[in-house]
Structures are given as C-alpha cells and as structure tokens.
Amino acid sequence: MAARKRLLLLIRHSPYGSSLARASLDVALAAAAFDQPLSLLFTGDGVLQLLPGQDSEALGVRNPGRLLASLPLYDIEQVYVDAEAAARYQLDLGAAPVTALALERQQIRELIESHEHLLGF
Amino acid sequence: MQTPAHAGVFLFSPAMIYSLLVMSAPASGQGAMTAARFARAALARGHSVNRVFFLDAGVANGAAAAVYPQDEEDRLRPWVELAEQHGVELILCIASALKYGMLDEAEARRYEKPAATAHPAFTISGLGQLVDAAAAADRLVTFGG
Amino acid sequence: MTLHTLNASPGSAAFTDCLRMIAAGDVLLLLGDGVYAALAGTGARAQLDACGARLCVLREDATAAGVLERVAGTELIDIDGFVALSEQFPRQLAWY
C-alpha cells in the first residue's frame, strides 16, 4: 500500500431506504482491513444508522446497525455524529451500536480539514 | 509557479494522480457522463487517472449490452475509449456488480448465469482496489446523482 | 479548503446537509439539478450567497436547464475549470 492518506466517510443516508448505507460501510470495512486511517461521520438521515435494536431478519437483508457494532474488530473504536442531526431525531447516542462522539458544526469543519480524502455517501 | 486564485485563468499545476469514484447510474441524471468528461479533461491537463471505481448503481455503467438512443450520447463509449485509448483502469465493485447483474466470464460461469454482461473494458474486483487507488492518489473525486 | 459538488435540487436533503457543512474558504460547484440552487432571487440562492463559499456553476448543466441568464453572480465554469478547481482544492466532497 502507498503512503497513508486519512479518509473521512460522510454518511447521510438511513440504513434501509437506499443501498448507500451498505456501500459506505463496505468501503469503511475495506479501508480498515487494508489498514488505512479512516473516520466515519454520520449526519443528516445517516444518524438513523445509529439507532439500537435494528432487526432486519424479517426483511432478509443485512443489518447496518450490527455491522457498526463490529467496527471495533477492525480497530475503529468510535464514530463521529453531527450533534444537531442526532438531536433532530432525538437519538440516545449512549445506546448506539458503536461509540459515537457528538460534534458541533465547528468541530465537524475541523474534522473535514484534518483528512486528505473525503467520500460522501 | 504561480497559481492564480480563480478558475478560468491559465493555471499551471504539477501533474497529479486522480482516483475517481462513480456512484451514478448511467441512464439517470448526468453524473456518470460528467465523470467521464472529467477524466478526459484531467488527462488533457497532464494528470493521470489511476483508476475509476464504480460502486452501487454506478456499476451499471459497465453494461455491455446497453443500447442508447440514436439521438443521444452513447453512455458506454466514453468509458471504453478511456480504457482502450488512455489505459484507464475501470473497476466495477464486485459486491455491487453481482447485485446489478454485472458479471464477467468467470463470474457468469461461477454463478451459472446465461452470459457475461459486463463490457470487457471493465474489470470486476473488490473494494481493496478503491482503497489502494485512493491511497496512491493526490485527488479523490466522487460523482453521484 | 474543500471543493463541494452538489448534484441535487435545492429542495433536497443533500442541499440542506451541504449548506450545513460548507464554510468560507470552500468552493461550491453546482452540477446537474444543483444548478437550480443558483437561481437569482430564490431563497436557496440567498442561503448560498450567505454561506461564504465561492459559488460555481457547471456551464453545460446550466445551459441544459435554461438558466444561464438567471445565475448571474456565480462563476460559470466548464469541465476543464472543474478539474482546475480540483487542482486547487485538495479535498472534494460530493453531495447527491
């Protein structure tokens, strides 16, 4: 692998309404598996991926919530969340499937500026 | 070298390596064709494009049997030309490709599907190819919608 | 310094989410349906003017939409200009 560029995934879509949630998590896991430095930021409807208790068995589809819970196995110990978006959906981040740090707008800008590559999903 | 602040003025920039990620479906909106034009323009400006990676609905850009209306731009040909004339690697993400029925010969045999459906200018491979390309790239540009 | 590209109409969640993240020093390139956000006199355009970012519109998409005459005050650029922007701005973020 070439020199390490820090990658930030910005995730805006809910878990089951489109294929973008799965696509973004697949990218995250691939980057982690290849030992590339990576951060995830959930904003907009993307924060809904952090709802606990997702149960997709009846739908017969994979469960992004459960995928998120496995992130620590890939050395991704925490994800970032847009505090305003979480508040809009009344999310209890303490119950999220993975440790989720709430960021205010200025902190989000700093997060963006501290990564070489960005991917919006 | 000076780099003027505004686009549209002559701008010298050292040659850079670009990786492109295409999420856009071929027949919906202009995202995919804008990506192909961007790739051509980047090459014309002296940059290299180390890979174009197609993910999610973007894999449909690789459909070998797509037929576009006579009075519209062919949405497959620009990609084939980038591959054949400029050696640009076009990769369809395997997980997305399978779901969208984009198969090469090997996958068609493996899954006992009637035919290969991906144009040979495209290779079907894993997300490691996107990660690898981005790690080597100076610029990572995504096209969606 | 980030190059934001918006390929969604001003009625979309992408527009709202993008506006939240964009800051002075960034550049916003409107593509596809995003060009409608630049229409002079609209609330969306007012929000864009207030966000502090440099505003660019992809000429071929504005031409298709028939809005070339109605996006004054933005920079109309072509694909070559899009690449030039990406040379200047090390990060690009797509909103769609």
Amino acid in the structure at residue C47: Q
Counting the structural domains of chain B, the total is: 1
pLDDT at A4: 81
Counting the structural domains of chain A, the total is: 1
In this structure, is residue A49 part of a structural domain? yes
Q: Which domain holds residue A87?
A: 12-120
Q: Which domain holds residue B23?
A: 17-64+73-143
pLDDT at C51: 96
Average of pLDDT values for A66-94? 96
In this structure, is residue B2 part of a structural domain? no
Encode pLDDT of C4-26 as tens digits.
Answer: 999 999 999 999 999 999 999 99
In this structure, is residue B126 part of a structural domain? yes
Looking up residue A17, the CATH number of its domain turns out to be 3.40.1260.10
pLDDT over 90, % of chain B: 87
Nearest CB to B7 within list C31, C33, C81 = C81
Active-site option among B57, B93, B130, B133: B93
In this structure, is residue B3 part of a structural domain? no
Looking up residue B94, the CATH number of its domain turns out to be 3.40.1260.10
Is A120 close to C96, i.e. CB distance below 8 A?
yes
Encode pLDDT of C22-44 as tens digits.
Answer: 999 999 999 999 999 999 999 99
pLDDT over 70, % of chain A: 98
In this structure, is residue A7 part of a structural domain? no
ipTM for this model? 0.97
In this structure, is residue B79 part of a structural domain? yes
In this structure, is residue A35 part of a structural domain? yes
pLDDT at B2: 43
Catalogue all structural domains in chain C, each as residue range(s) with its CATH number: 2-95 (3.40.1260.10)
Amino acid in the structure at residue A57: E
Encode pLDDT of A28-46 as tens digits.
Answer: 999 999 999 999 999 999 9
In this structure, is residue B5 part of a structural domain? no
In this structure, is residue A72 part of a structural domain? yes
In this structure, is residue A91 part of a structural domain? yes
Query: Nearest CA to A30 among B17, B96, C17, C2?
Result: B96
> Catalytic annotation on B93?
yes
Encode pLDDT of B82-140 as tens digits.
Answer: 999 999 999 999 999 999 999 998 899 999 998 899 999 999 999 999 999 999 999 99
